[in-house]
Amino acid sequence: MIRVGVADLPLHYGKTPAWLFSRMELLAGEIITVIVKEYSAQEFLRRLADPFWFQAFGCCLGFDWHSSGLTTTVCAAIKSALKDRGKELGIFVAGGKGKTSRQTPQEIAEIGEKSWVDSPEQLIYASRLSAKVDNNALQDGYQLYHHSFFFTSEGKWAVVQQGMYEHWARRYHWLSEKIESFVCEPHSAIYSQRKARVLNMVAKESEEVRKASVYLACQKPEKVVKEIKHLERLTLPSKHSLSLFDIQPQNLSRVLLSTYERQPQNFEELLGIEGVGAKTVRALSLISELIYGTKVSTRDPARFSFAHGGKDGYPYKVERRIYDNSINFLREAILQAKLGHPEKLKAMKRLSKMSQSLSYRVR
């Protein structure tokens, strides 16, 4: 699996007008259909997992490039567009914003009951663990409030989820291709404007902390709590980036009883146990650092275009006539291709190649 991107965005308030969202659904549906017909459903997942392509796609649908609302609205438009086309294209969407995000497992299971996808249980697992990683294992200060899970009939998947911190939003992209580990460097590229102070348990350099955390989680709770109380009496050096302030032994003991009974074999299993959240992960990493000398990473792994204007009128207002022309052109191109006349789609390919060539020369 590859987490291919993280994007930081300033939070914007306001609602997408109904006339624009209805057009977003239509245009998104036509663009997705072209990509799937010309390439594959897997190719569409790859593009969703690219933070720059996703941002440009949102701008094409009528959003401002720096608007955090782009994430939730674009995902909602895709979900609505694929509601009737999903079976035909072999792509499905579950989850969304707020309470809807918590319905993701149920939605995946319902699609699986219709025998439209392979291994729904594995998809549910991927959905849950990707959220736990970005909420608990990568503690960057952003609280997840949006989780959209995209998957194909063959069981390939992508995740677009977003967290909030003050007036900033950070978007996380996941892709199931080349899966190696949920808990060790699950990203290949991360893009961000704002660096955060983090506890990065999924960094490669945190490997020994992950192992020590699993070892501690498998010990009797009273033994670990005893170590915490002992540490509370020490005067810790100021260089430590972690603090005992948030660790409450009485609360941790209950969670440790669950991990002791389950005896997880690795950090992925530990993270997947119900009740193991950010504070548990932080406590175990601190104890392992102070007792065993392991070093947890504090490295933040985080490191656009207009087609129809922006919903807020920047850089200019959305032109409804031009927007409708784009929808109709794509719809007609798809229809003609189905009838054996792919000239319009071929013309779009030539235009795309010409655009890439010009872009390369400009550089």
Indicate the domain borders of the chain.
2-197, 204-292, 320-362
For tokens 């348990």, the residue is: 201
Please tell me the predicted confidence (pLDDT) of residue 13: 62
Residue 142 has pLDDT above 90, yes or no: no
Q: Write out pLDDT tens, residues 113-141.
A: 998 998 999 999 999 999 999 999 999 88
- Does the structure show a pLDDT above 50 at 166? yes
Q: What is the pLDDT of residue 361?
A: 40
Q: Report CA-CA distances (Å) from 217 to 151, 175, 229.
A: 33, 29, 16
Packed helices 51-61 and 69-81: angle between N→C axes, nearest 10 degrees:
80
Is 45 within 8 Å of 157 (Cβ atoms)? yes
Segment 286-298 mean pLDDT: 86
Lowest mean pLDDT among 91-95, 175-179, 226-230, 332-336: 332-336
CA 109 – CA 121 distance, rounded (Å) = 8
Q: Does the pLDDT of residue 337 top 80, yes or no?
A: no
Mean pLDDT of 280-307: 78
Question: What is the reported pLDDT for 290?
Answer: 80
pTM: 0.79
Q: In the predicted model, is pLDDT for residue 300 greater than 90?
A: no
Q: What is the pLDDT of residue 305?
A: 37
CA angle 140, 297, 217 (to 5 degrees): 90
User: 180-185: long-range contacts (C-beta < 8 A, 24 or more apart)?
Assistant: 180/1, 181/1, 181/268, 182/1, 182/129, 182/130, 182/133, 182/268, 182/271, 183/133, 183/137, 183/210, 183/266, 183/267, 183/268, 183/271, 184/210
pLDDT reading at 56 higher than 70: yes
Tokens describing residue 260: 């002791």
What does the pLDDT average to over 311-333?
Answer: 58
